[in-house]
Chains A and B, each alone.
Chain A
């Protein structure tokens, strides 16, 4: 069964600095998707960035980028120029788009941004 592991329950970063959130996963599939979702307190879960496993190029969305290491089954999120609005719970999620049709989430990393 596929699993997603986030080993950092909490992280803190100074405003304008860079922070990296870690995620590892386990799967026997070769074709799948990986996502980072952001969940602010009492607010909606929002898609931050996604990566298709067949693409070697790391995805980038403005200040957010990923380091996707397929062989190592690692998918970290880098947030550059951190802003106060980045404070939230961040979830890494796996989706194989075929057999299961469901997202498998990690336990999340709570990111605090210090002014």
Chain B
């Protein structure tokens, strides 16, 4: 069990650029979550996958955000035309079957110049 892996750890980009983050869940965890955490706040839910199906999306996930989980394994979160307000820590979590808790990755910190 290597834990939830996120890449990159830190991304710095100019406003207006597109960015993509990757999350590799714990092996055999069929449920995957993305959260966004701004400074001084708790994480806020963005989206949820069960296997490859995206079952829930927050209203925080504007049309500039898209998430995928092809083949039900790793997931990507893409932000198009980044804005200053997108600066945050993006956390990925995965969860096994039953009532197992969510396990978090280290996060990707996005900084918009």
Residues of A within 8 A of B (CB): 4, 33, 35, 37, 43-47, 50, 52, 91, 93, 95, 97, 100-108
Q: Which residues of B contact A101 (CB under 8 A)?
A: 31, 48, 55-56
Q: How far is the CA of A43 from the CA of B105 in the complex (A)?
A: 9
24 CB < 8 A contacts A-B:
A4-B42, A35-B101, A37-B104, A44-B104, A44-B105, A44-B107, A47-B101, A47-B103, A52-B99, A91-B42, A91-B43, A93-B42, A97-B99, A101-B55, A101-B56, A102-B58, A103-B35, A103-B43, A104-B45, A105-B42, A105-B44, A107-B40, A107-B42, A108-B42
Q: Which residues of A contact B45 (CB under 8 A)?
A: 102-104
**Contact in complex: B41, A108 (CB < 8 Å):** yes
Q: Which residues of A contact B43 (CB under 8 A)?
A: 45, 91, 103, 105
Residues of B within 8 A of A (CB): 3, 31, 33, 35, 40-45, 48, 55-56, 58, 91, 93, 99, 101-107
Q: How many A-B residue pairs have CB under 8 A?
A: 52
Closest to B31 in A: A101
Q: Which residues of B contact A107 (CB under 8 A)?
A: 40-42
Closest to B42 in A: A105
Q: How far is the CB of B106 from chain A (nearest CB, A)?
A: 5
**Contact in complex: B102, A103 (CB < 8 Å):** yes
7 other contacts beyond A45-B91, A103-B93, with CB at 8 A cut-off? A4-B42, A33-B101, A37-B104, A47-B103, A101-B56, A102-B48, A103-B33
